[in-house]
Amino acid sequence: MSTVREVTYEVLRKLGMTVIFGNPGSTELPFLRDMPADFKYILGLHERTAAGMALGYSLAKAQPVFVNLHSIASAGNGLSAIVDAYHNQTPLVITTGQQDRRHLFAEPFLSSRAVDVVRPYVKWAYESMRAEDVPAAIARGYYLAAQPPAGPVFLSIPMDDWTHECPPVEVRKVEQTVLPNPLALDEVVRALDASRNPAIVVGSQLEQDHGWQEAVALAEHLNADVFQDPIPPRWTFPRTHRLFRGGLLPAQQPLADQLAAYDAVVVLGAPIFLYYAYVPGNTVKPGTHLFQITNSSNHASAALAGTSIVGNTAAAARYLRARSAARPRSNSSPQPGPPPTPEPEYPITPAYLFSVLNRVMPRDAVICEECPSAKGDLDRYLLLDEPRSFYSVPNGILGFGLPAAVGLQMGNPQRRVVCPVGDGSFQYSVQALWSAVQSNAEVIFIVLRNSDYSALKGFCDFTQVGRNVSGMDIPGIDAVKIAQGYGMTAREVDRPEEIELAFREAFSSRGPRLISVNVAKGGQKCMGMDQSVNPPNYR
């Protein structure tokens, strides 16, 4: 009879999970030994990086990805990537080793309570009762991870399990799409037909549900203005489309003000709403018909207002377009003109950097962003119209950007991934540079070097905390030398007249690259908001 190890590799193969992201330790060696030749192991030098690359790879491939970390040692280090996967609704099957069952009771070195540690941020955390359940648990974890809302699952596997005898495990087809209730959607149709001025809010679930085209078609059918959800982990509407009105602000009253002109608002695939600063107000203006269509029962139950309908967002958009009346083009909200062309100032401004990048990058580039105080400029100047073009830190945990960019590039070799990253954010998972070099993942990393935590300084001003706060400056870090230390080609840009050539050179060459740009300090706005929104005062 086969062993647990042999059956597991067979199950992984049948499930299409032949790329394994990990960082090994003694408790994983009985599994990792003699890996079959059709498997590929991608080593992350830190578990945040290993699981973070898996996350990016899963985003690129739109399928579950297998991760193997080291006992509690690396479940802890990898936890922030697990939390990212949870908030990003990304299906990861994460495994860690556990000490040998035969002396687990004695709490030996490296014994692991990882199952309890990760539980709030995974869909399932499990250590099987019997060794021979391990392959079946991996298959079950796969089906569950992929089920909307997708997310990570976690299995802890004692190191002596791998050599046990094990019967074969059938891999099954588990259909994942859940259609929304048509009777509930009819209520949305009625509200749209009665509306004078509807708006659509698009969220990242539209991409999970392959609903990009459906959202565009619905918006055009209704001639409705479209907003991106606040602090979006993905962009899910063409940026230059005539109906696109930009992003919503992440605070109650300012967001309600943005939507005040609309009498019906349909949120497709986003929470209602993701806030950052506490500026109390209505969710939307009283009297506005608010609907949420979401693949997440959690988002539906947590929404602060409106009617929520659970189900596939692409199917819902299709249904609404088929049943609602087409609307003539309304002139209530003219398309905003292009942003002003920034001047080439010294030091270089993030606005100038992104306006040049937009000119130089291919139209199918993929942006993986983590540059907190420059987010607004990036949002304004990078005009991408392709699906699956933009990814960002889903719940504010820095360290997402670098490894996600590497994973996205590995899963998307035909499109160039660009990772604009703050010099502070760069440090949280910097080892991803090494993996990029080793795998020849051709990411262009653009470090915005302002030598401080500008976003936090901006928040100090925004909330009147004042500037007398420790730990806000990070002088003396040379990202070029760090990258070179990992074997990556890297250069610095200081003058505005150098930047275009540096970008062009990067895009025309092969292999990963890092460009460290000395930029002006940022933080004038807090996620697009200034004092006019009446922010909270924490002084």
Q: 394 vs 422, which CB is nearer to ligand TPP?
A: 422
Q: Is residue 52 within 8 Å of 429, Cβ to Cβ?
A: yes
Minimum distance from CB of 401 to ligand TPP (Å)?
9
Q: 299 vs 457, which CB is nearer to ligand TPP?
A: 457
Residue 522's Cβ-side half-sphere holds a number of Cα atoms within 13 Å equal to: 30
Q: 197 vs 427, which CB is nearer to ligand TPP?
A: 427
Minimum distance from CB of 96 to ligand TPP (Å)?
21
Tell me the two tokens of residue 165. Answer: 């005898």
Alpha carbon of residue 123 to chain centroid: 18
Minimum distance from CB of 452 to ligand TPP (Å)?
6
Q: Is residue 259 within 8 Å of 285, Cβ to Cβ?
A: yes
Q: 374 vs 490, which CB is nearer to ligand TPP?
A: 374
DSSP output for 386-431: STT-EEE-SSS-TT-HHHHHHHHHHH-TTS-EEEEEETTGGGGGTT
Provide the 10 A C-beta neighbour count for residue 334. Answer: 8
Provide the 10 A C-beta neighbour count for residue 167. Answer: 10
Tell me the two tokens of residue 79. Answer: 């936890």
Give, in degrees to the nearest 5, the angle at Cα 114 between 113 and 116: 75
Q: 135 vs 250, which CB is nearer to ligand TPP?
A: 250
Minimum distance from CB of 429 to ligand TPP (Å)?
9
Minimum distance from CB of 393 to ligand TPP (Å)?
8
Minimum distance from CB of 428 to ligand TPP (Å)?
5
Alpha carbon of residue 408 to chain centroid: 11
Q: 245 vs 457, which CB is nearer to ligand TPP?
A: 457
How many whole angstroms separate alpha carbon 395 and alpha carbon 68? 23
Radius of gyration from C-alpha coordinates of the chain: 24
Q: Which residue is nearest to ligand TPP (CB)?
A: 422
The footprint of ligand TPP (CB under 6 A) covers: 371-374, 396-399, 422-425, 428, 450, 452-456, 522
Q: 240 vs 524, which CB is nearer to ligand TPP?
A: 524
Residue 125's Cβ-side half-sphere holds a number of Cα atoms within 13 Å equal to: 14
Minimum distance from CB of 455 to ligand TPP (Å)?
3
Alpha carbon of residue 56 to chain centroid: 8
